[in-house]
Amino acid sequence: MRQKILIIEDDKQLCEMIKFILTREGYNIEVSHNGKEAIHKLQSFTPHLIILDIMLPEINGWQIQELLRADSKTSRIPVIVLTSRNFIKDIDKAFSLGAAAYITKPFSIEKLVKKVKSLLQK
């Protein structure tokens, strides 16, 4: 069974690039371009991992992390925060909300793939 990943990213071009690379790596990928859509998608799609931007329309990444942790169905899904926000307070907040990793944009796609593989092997 292919492992499932949900990418929650409002930059559609970046989202498609990540989806292409991870699909080529053998993962089943779903995407959402805003927080509200992501919450709706999580009702029918339970991923093994989530790649999450913070600055999203409708519901931001912080709120999504809080909702994920509050729901027993999603509370153990590892989250990679992928964001342009590179402040210590944001990094601390992401980890305090349960993030498994924090990667800042611009980023190395190789680093992202390596982190995805690492988290999904646990």
Q: Per-residue pLDDT for the chain (122 aa), expressed as one digit of tens each?
A: 699 999 999 999 999 999 999 999 999 999 999 999 999 999 999 999 999 999 999 999 999 999 999 999 999 999 999 999 999 999 999 999 999 999 999 999 999 999 999 999 97
Placement of tokens 């927080």 in the chain: 35
pTM for the whole structure: 0.96
Contact 102, 51 (CB under 8 A): no
pLDDT value, residue 69:
95
Asked if the 4-120 domain carries CATH number 3.30.379.10, the reply is no
Q: Whole-angstrom Cα distance, residue 27 to residue 19?
A: 9
